Amino acid sequence: MRFDIVSDTHGHLSDELLKELQGADLIVHAGDLCSSSDLRTLERIAPVQMCLGNNDWGNDYGPSIQRLTRFYAEGLRWQICHYRERLDLVTCDVAICGHTHRPCFERDSRTGTYIMNPGSPTFPRTGDGPTMGRIHAKGGKVLMAEIIRLNKRR
């Protein structure tokens, strides 16, 4: 199963991002979506699991979208929170965060939890430019994870 990971889109979904998301089985958004119409656009591509970011308002998305989201998919316990420091790495297998606009992927040495911040496809804060993440998982195992650079023609 292919999980495409985004965060900090801030009301702008670029054509390149939307093209890269095509074929995702599930889109995970780690907050600061900032647009209910963008949520509907993402939901036309694939089901979406998301959390609220510091620039999101719950009434824009409905009561089911909270500051911390937990779900179970492909045999893994997932957790999404805009702020990394609020993730509970003991109770999940995959933890997704955002806020910093800086991409990273690592495995926690204490818990074994995979942690990803996909960066931002809209307002990147590194020399990598716009980014998103992708995780392939099957049967309770993460098979592959990567940070994808958008605007590769630069």
Mean pLDDT of 94-115: 98
Token digits for 122? Answer: 């809209």
Mean pLDDT of 65-87: 97
Judge if pTM exceeds 0.85.
yes
For the stretch 26-67, pLDDT in tens is 999 999 999 999 999 999 999 999 999 999 987 788 888 999
| Cα distance between residue 121 and residue 129, in whole Å | 8
Q: Which domains does the chain have, with CATH numbers?
A: 2-149 (3.60.21.10)
Q: What are phi and psi of 142, to 5 degrees?
A: -80, 115
CB of 97 closer than 8 Å to CB of 73? no
Helix (H, G, I), strand (E, B) or coil at 91: helix
pLDDT at position 154:
43
